[in-house]
Amino acid sequence: MNLAHGLGERSDLPVPLWLALYAGAAAVLIAFFAVSALRPKPRAGREVPLPLAGLADARITRALLRAGGLIAFGVLLAVAWFGADDSHNPAPVWFYVWFWVGLIPASLLFGPFWRLVNPVRPLAAIVRSCLPRGVRRELRSDGAGNVVAVGGMIAFLWLELASPHPDSPRAVAVFVTIYAAVHAIGGALFGPRWFAQADTFEVYSGLIAAMSPFGRGADGRLVLVVLGGAMFDGFSGLPLWTDLTGLIRQPVTSLLATAALAVLLVLNVRAYREAIRTTSAYLRPGVSTVDDEFTCPMVPIMVGYGVAHYFSFAVFEGQLGWLLATDPFGRGWDLLGVGGASVDYAVPGPAVISAVQVGAIVLGHVMGVVSAHDRALRVVRADDLRSGQYPMVTLMVVYTGIAIVLVSAG
């Protein structure tokens, strides 16, 4: 089971690589010039329709979601800690596929999904209610929470991509237990705002939820961390990397992967900062910074690359998670009546997978261009509206090319 790399050999493009690269770059550029000509004003948001909002806000709905989150959390921990410590344990698949990859469609469809399901929130609330009032605090600085959220994402990406045994159930158990303990303590001391600012997966889900078709009326570093991690995951599937790591053993392989992951994270941050610095020359009077303004345009890129990178991983390993769930503790059970069944690797075919990959990348970048244009209308001088967007568009074209190369050469 190769949990760290979901694309494998199913990433053959249905068209030549050079054509995909040109088509992807052309789509981004065409979108840029089209929105420049056709969208003179920023888009307006849409509020959730009242009946739907009433259902989502109902106490019973939230109680059921929270109860479901607590049950799933308990089952995951029990299986990860006490099930077989081998590839027959479903906990790693549940964690990496059903939870991590599943956060993308769940947040796109239902908004900040993890905020409603997060099992650590009620645990922290119980502990907080037992603390003396003099011990309780309020999280006053967004920056402190964001540092914790970014650190948590780096730790998760290291576990998935660079640790010696990412598919170990015990490694998953240790990570989830530490994650729960840290946020239970943080939530108990600093209140519910801790989760909105410091919980890695709540922040991540909230960023993706910005693309949901509904809304009610950011953290750029976390987006860049996720992009850098996804790029490393694709890079580690290239023959250059696999040949190199095939010549060495642990723990050197893990150390090399950690260093490469760190380099890609830093390069992503530097590239984004350089684009922001160049854009700053075109700002309207009184606008001093645009870091937050151009965070949102990076979210569709993150989501598009996430869909492309994890699509086949989710389809095939997701089936495996269901099959392994029939005997979660390795006791010879067949709870779901699927004993003897196997993963169907024939559907979807390589052409469908590759079309989804390229389509998700291009669509994500096109949506990023549209979002960036909306932000530019607010902060860039009217006379420099087009030239003021060139730095971010250039960055998006580069991201498009890198992403297509990585999904095609894994």
Residue 53 pLDDT class (50, 70, 90 cuts): low
Is 333 a domain residue? no
Q: Phi and psi (nearest 5°) for 299?
A: -65, -50
Q: What pLDDT, on the 0 to 100 scale, is given for residue 7?
A: 32
> What's the rounded mean pLDDT across residues 390-398?
82
Q: What pLDDT, on the 0 to 100 scale, is given for residue 40?
A: 59
229 and 205 housed in the same domain: no
362 and 241 housed in the same domain: yes
Residues 278-301: tens digit of each pLDDT: 888 888 876 666 666 677 777 888
305 and 237 housed in the same domain: yes
Is 130 a domain residue? yes
Q: What pLDDT, on the 0 to 100 scale, is given for residue 397?
A: 80
Residue that finishes a domain, picked among 216, 246, 262: 216
158 and 194 housed in the same domain: yes
Which stretch of 18-22, 27-31, 313-317, 361-365 has the lowest confidence by average pLDDT?
18-22
Q: Is pLDDT at 165 greater than 80 in this prediction?
A: yes
Q: What pLDDT, on the 0 to 100 scale, is given for residue 10?
A: 43
Cα–Cα distance measured from residue 233 to residue 17, given in angstroms and rounded to the nearest whole number: 19
Q: Structurally, how many domains does the chain consist of?
A: 2
Residue that finishes a domain, picked among 156, 187, 216: 216
Residue that finishes a domain, picked among 216, 242, 276: 216
Residue 215: strand pairing partners: 47
Q: What pLDDT, on the 0 to 100 scale, is given for residue 368?
A: 81
Residue 408 pLDDT class (50, 70, 90 cuts): low
Is 295 a domain residue? yes
Residue 140 pLDDT class (50, 70, 90 cuts): low
232 and 302 housed in the same domain: yes
159 and 243 housed in the same domain: no
Mean confidence (pLDDT) of the chain: 80
118 and 149 housed in the same domain: yes
- 254 or 233: which leads in pLDDT: 254
Which stretch of 84-93, 161-170, 361-370 has the lowest confidence by average pLDDT?
361-370
Which stretch of 46-60, 69-83, 143-157, 178-192 has the lowest confidence by average pLDDT?
46-60
Is 340 a domain residue? no
Do the Cβ atoms of 70 and 180 come closer than 8 Å? Answer: no
395 and 257 housed in the same domain: yes
- 33 or 392: which leads in pLDDT: 392
Is 281 a domain residue? yes
Is 233 a domain residue? yes
Residue 380: strand pairing partners: 283
Residue type at position 205: S
**What's the half-sphere exposure (Cβ side, CA atoms, 13 Å) at 59?**
0
Give DSSP secondary structure letters for 369-392. Answer: HHHHHHHHHHHB-GGGTTGGGHHH
Contacts made by residues 240-249, CB under 8 angstroms, sequence distance 24+:
none
Q: Phi and psi (nearest 5°) for 332?
A: 85, 15
Cα–Cα distance measured from residue 361 to residue 355, given in angstroms and rounded to the nearest whole number: 10
Distances (CA, A) of 203 to 56, 213, 299: 20, 18, 12
Is 181 a domain residue? yes
Percent helix, strand and coil across the chain, each to the nearest 5: 70, 0, 30
212 and 224 housed in the same domain: no
> What's the rounded mean pLDDT across residues 385-392?
81
Is 201 a domain residue? yes
273 and 298 housed in the same domain: yes
207 and 136 housed in the same domain: yes
246 and 203 housed in the same domain: no
- 238 or 187: which leads in pLDDT: 187
The boundaries of the domain holding residue 258 are: 1-45+220-310+351-410
Picking from 163, 181, 212, the residue whose alpha carbon sits closest to that of residue 48 is 212
Residue 31 pLDDT class (50, 70, 90 cuts): confident
